[in-house]
Amino acid sequence: MTRTVNARLAGFAFLAYIALGFPAMVLFDKATNAQGTAAKLESIAAHSSDIRVVVVLTLLTCCAAFVLAVTLYGITRDEDHELAMLALSCRVGEGVLSAISILATLGLLWLGTTVAANAPHLAAAQALGAFLFKVQGWNTTIGATFFAAGSTLFSYLLLRGRMIPVLLAWLGVVASVLLVVGLPLQLAGFFAGRGFGLMWLPMAVFELTLGPWLLIKGVAPQPARVSGNLLVAGAGDRDIDDHGISSRGRHQDDVHGSDVLLRGRPGPLVAREGNPGAISSEIRRETHAPNRQGSAHRGRDLSVTGIDGTF
């Protein structure tokens, strides 16, 4: 997929993630709004339909997290492949942990609705219910920590590549780092209480802004980097006015090739060796350029194709 398609899908996934996750949280809090484990299980039994809806919404939220992981990776991988892969792994981990939390939810629903001979002993049911409530809370915090780590890396790459407005990218970095620091402290028990949830406000503002931005505006085009036995325009910058493309070649000490940075009109620049194909604009050039030691090497033919999208 192109960067443009990835950006649109990521914007939709951001909004879907919020639209699915927030109702699930509200419904679960409503179904468990009681004091004590026994009372909470009774409330779950009375709101069993809501809990079943929560299961479905949570599963869809996991899918949205996976879509975000893949599409944000597709957007940022050219900026730094290793960091983008690490961020993708964090967001996938978040989705997996969210899926695991469904098991605890189903366990609580079973405890609250099972009757007659299949019902566990009252004391055992309360003990197991209390444990499942704790597990669900711990799992949510751990998953949120993976989310924050992935968001930090993706926001940094978006900032470094100037793919979104700088202020918005900085908001994402700051909001994510705040969660990366705060969530492990909350998990370890150093902080507690609903007031601690205020640290999520910057992240909410960031995602509610970033989602529509990606959906409508997309991301800024990046120059295409081509590495290998390719050489364009020699040692300096050279403009090609009739094609509207400027190219800059940077020689490496290694005579096997050079890094090439291509800048052009909006849209991608796809470089292929010896395969011009069906193109809207094509440049084929052989160059004979010295390396830093003064020895000469010969670059191969390079065809540059401009098509819609982003490389």
Q: Where do the domains of the chain lie?
A: 3-216, 224-306
The larger pLDDT score, comparing residue 222 to residue 95, is at 95
Mean pLDDT check: name the lowest of 45-49, 132-136, 259-263.
Answer: 259-263
DSSP code, position 9 = H
The larger pLDDT score, comparing residue 180 to residue 292, is at 180
Reported as a pLDDT band with limits 50, 70 and 90, residue 167 is: very high
Q: Are strands 296-298 and 258-263 parallel, antiparallel or unpaired?
A: unpaired
Task: Find the mean pLDDT for residues 103-132.
Answer: 84
Q: What percent of the chain has pLDDT over 90?
A: 55
Reported as a single tens digit per residue, the pLDDT across 186-234 is 898 887 766 677 889 999 999 999 999 999 999 988 665 554 444 443 3
Reported as a pLDDT band with limits 50, 70 and 90, residue 280 is: very low
pLDDT of residue 189: 84
- Integer Cα distance of 36 and 46 in angstroms: 15
Task: Find the mean pLDDT for residues 45-73.
Answer: 95
The model's pTM is: 0.70
pLDDT of residue 118: 66
Q: Which helix (H) or strand (E) covers residue 179, if one does? A: helix 166-187
**Long-range contact set of residues 76-80: C-beta below 8 Å, sequence gap at least 24:** 76/154, 76/157, 76/158, 76/161, 76/163, 78/161, 78/222, 78/225, 78/311, 79/157, 79/160, 79/161, 79/163, 79/222, 80/157, 80/160
Q: Roughly what angle, to the nearest 10 degrees, separates helices 201-216 and 3-31?
A: 140
Tokens of 1: 């997929």
Contact 176, 152 (CB under 8 A): yes
Task: Find the mean pLDDT for residues 9-24.
Answer: 95
Task: Find the mean pLDDT for residues 9-19.
Answer: 95
Across the chain, mean pLDDT equals 77
The larger pLDDT score, comparing residue 303 to residue 27, is at 27
Mean pLDDT check: name the lowest of 91-100, 115-124, 202-211, 263-272.
Answer: 263-272
Task: Find the mean pLDDT for residues 60-89.
Answer: 95
Tokens of 263: 């800048």
- What is the phi/psi pair of residue 288, to 5°? -130, 100
List the Cα angle 69/100/42 in 5-degree steps.
135
Q: What percent of the chain has pLDDT over 70?
A: 68
Tokens of 308: 């819609």
Reported as a pLDDT band with limits 50, 70 and 90, residue 120 is: confident
Tokens of 66: 């996976």
